[in-house]
Amino acid sequence: MMAVNSCAAAPRVLRAAFEPTGSPRWFVYAMKKLGLDTKHGFDLQITLVRDQITGAFQSFEVALKEGAVDLIDIDWIAIGRHRANGLPLTAFFPYGRIAGGLVVPSDSPISGLRDLRGKCIGVVRLRDKNWIILRAACMKRYDFDPQQEATVVEALSKGTLTEMLKGGQVDAALQWWQLIPPLVATGAYRRVVDVLDLIADLGIAGSVPITLFTVSDEFAKHNGELLRGFVRAFCETAEYLKQNDQIWVEVGEQVMGGIDPRILTILRDSWRQRVMTAWDASTILQIERLFGELLKVGGGALLGIDQLPPGTFATEFVE
């Protein structure tokens, strides 16, 4: 009798794009090490893209738009703008309260938002969610728009922004959250503002996701079980990273290139506070409240859109 080979079907491939310095690489390392993608029926494959902005798109947005990858994480303001401009993207689960902060040299006279008048401020880009939220906070609390009453320089990459701050080309830099502790640890810089605190100052209590895992409408339509598997794997990975300190030692060595243990601890604790695994109608309501407050303060000119288009968020992939 002829033997028949029987083997399980290979897991579906899910292609994601992240930046080399981005925090998603941390959970990807843990997910792959623990085999949680395979456990939940898929093979997560990562493309690392350049820290660069071209026109209205960051590099990972270009990769998704061109079909080179299936999944990215971006903020919901950008998703709304893309949908309004005819690029049908949808957020299917939150990554977390991923927002940056304002950094200045240690001897800077800048101690708060009110001190930004007349200063030179470096931002990654003018449409960045961090800059939008900071502008709204200045408008609401101190009755001025720093985009009008300060000099604002677009770096178009996070690495360039850091170099501009170090070179004295800007008085302050609105940098991504995970890049701030290494700067502060040198003693030459200090953080003036955490953007997450500005959200609370705008009157929004509780946790509001800022960046979300995002796919095209077409991909979501045909890959529901694959996305449900990703949600299960991400939640299990996030819980492991919250509870296990040793995995962070490995992340520090394998992903961050042997980072100073003191900085690693700061990043670990901050990530644990920022990551989110709740996604339902109440979470989306929180986003809509923040959007409404930003719109009330700065209007469509601040956000680039007057409303979050229908289809921006999908909750059907949560079990």
Same domain, 81 and 158: no
The stretch 41-66 carries a mean pLDDT of: 88
Same domain, 186 and 115: yes
Residue 315 lies in a domain: no
Residue 17 lies in a domain: yes
pLDDT tops 50 at residue 299: yes
**Residues 112-140 pLDDT 10s:** 999 999 999 999 999 999 999 999 999 99
Same domain, 190 and 123: yes
Same domain, 33 and 110: no
Total domains, the chain:
2
Gyration radius of the chain's alpha carbons: 20
Residue 5 lies in a domain: no
pLDDT tops 90 at residue 8: no
Contacts 24+ apart (CB under 8 A), 216-220: 216/64, 216/70, 216/88, 216/89, 216/90, 217/88, 217/89, 217/90, 217/311, 218/88, 219/70, 220/90, 220/92, 220/314, 220/317
Q: What is the reported pLDDT for 11? A: 87
Same domain, 84 and 229: yes
Residues 6 or more apart in contact with residue 161 via CB below 8 angstroms: 122, 123, 124, 155, 170, 173, 174, 175
Residue 89 lies in a domain: yes
Residue 82 lies in a domain: yes
Residue 255 lies in a domain: yes
**Residues 140-150 pLDDT 10s:** 999 999 999 99
Same domain, 90 and 149: no
Whether this model's pTM surpasses 0.85: yes
Same domain, 191 and 212: no
**Residues 251-280 pLDDT 10s:** 999 999 999 999 999 999 999 999 999 999
Same domain, 217 and 79: yes
Same domain, 221 and 175: no
Q: What is the reported pLDDT for 246? A: 97
**Residues 97-108 pLDDT 10s:** 999 999 999 999
pLDDT tops 70 at residue 7: no
Same domain, 92 and 106: no
Residue 154 lies in a domain: yes
Distances (CA, A) of 79 to 35, 41, 114, 143, 146: 30, 27, 30, 28, 24
Query: Which CATH number fits the domain that encloses residue 159?
Result: 3.40.190.10
pLDDT tops 80 at residue 27: yes
The stretch 177-193 carries a mean pLDDT of: 97
The stretch 219-243 carries a mean pLDDT of: 98
CB 57: neighbour CB atoms within 10 A?
A: 17
Q: What is the reported pLDDT for 135? A: 97
- Counting residues of the chain whose pLDDT is more than 70, the rounded percentage is 97
The stretch 155-184 carries a mean pLDDT of: 97
- The residue segments making up the domain with residue 165 are 101-201
The stretch 58-80 carries a mean pLDDT of: 93
Residue 269 lies in a domain: yes
The residue from 179, 201, 223 where one domain ends is 201
pLDDT tops 50 at residue 2: no
Smallest CA-to-CA distance from 272 within 23, 69, 93 is with 23
Q: What is the reported pLDDT for 1? A: 42
